[in-house]
Amino acid sequence: MSEQCCETPSGSSGNVMILACSGGSNVGQLSNQAAVELTKEGFGKMFCLAGIGAHLSGFVQSAKDVPAMIAIDGCSIGCAKATLEHAGVPLKAYLVITDLGIEKNKNFDLDSETIEKVKAAVKEACEGLPVEGGSSVACCS
């Protein structure tokens, strides 16, 4: 698989807003770690979900205005999704880590294979989202 696979189009890399759960379990921390690594890799940019939850106007408006955004929840409780709904921010792409067959627990020893699985699922969930310049996030199979 090419390193360019599942990235935003040339010249618009990093335009996917990534909002991670970061909750108090392994899947919350997997959400956070995947968001950090995807940001470092240039796939998107991590953004402050707490600022949206606090209804800070600049954070809320930025989330409403961005063309491509994904919310990553660790489990079906859906705290990230509920935070966005409460602030009136439309959900554009969404992923629940436990839906990937990863069991929620309190083991914070995250392994790289599981983090890679989450990152791949995030990229897949973002496929087709619009980015600046009229292009879209494109992923290969």
Decide if pLDDT at 37 tops 50. Answer: yes
Query: Whole-angstrom Cα distance, residue 86 to residue 25?
Result: 23
What pLDDT score does 22 carry? 92
Exposed e or buried b per residue across 29-40, where buried means at least 16 C-beta atoms within 10 angstroms of its C-beta: bbbbbbbebbbe
**133 confidence band (pLDDT: 50, 70, 90):** low
Angle in degrees, 0-180, between the axes of helices 26-40 and 112-126, rounded to the nearest 10 = 70
What pLDDT score does 6 carry? 42
pLDDT digits (tens, 9 = 90+) for 79-113: 999 999 999 999 999 999 999 999 999 999 999 99
What pLDDT score does 124 carry? 96
Contact (CB, 8 A) for 76 and 29: no
